[in-house]
Amino acid sequence: MPERTVVIASRTGLHARPAKLFVQAAAAQGVPVRIRLGAGRSVPATSMLAVMALGAGHGAEVVLEAEGPGADSALDSLAELLSRDLDAEEAPDA
């Protein structure tokens, strides 16, 4: 199963807005994606509660896993997202 290790760049970690953006992006990938903090248990990346419950703060190292056709590109996209400070970026117009 392909995986990527990423350091969380957002100042608030995977909480509030960054978690929401990550969960939405994971759901849009079309392949099952899981995330874990360090050597912990992996959780579905599409579950807001599970992602926030990881407690992944700024600078934490998480591992993303996916399987199926397109898993590598899905992981690349999600890893790039987490490596940005999503708190510093402007919210899109509603």
- What is the maximum alpha-carbon separation in the chain? 38
Known catalytic membership, residue 15: yes
The model's pLDDT over 30-67, given as tens digits with 9 standing for 90+, comes to 999 999 998 999 999 999 999 999 999 999 999 999 99
Rounded to 5 degrees, φ, ψ at 68 are: 110, 175
Total-model pTM: 0.91
Domain residue limits, the chain: 3-82
Report the topology of domain 3-82: Histidine-containing Protein; Chain: A; (3.30.1340)
The DSSP annotation for 9-55 comes to -STT-SSHHHHHHHHHHHHTTSS-EEEEETTS--EETT-HHHHHHT-
Task: Determine which one of 6, 14, 15, 45 is catalytic.
Answer: 15
- Cα 90 → chain centroid: 19
Percent of the chain with pLDDT over 70: 95
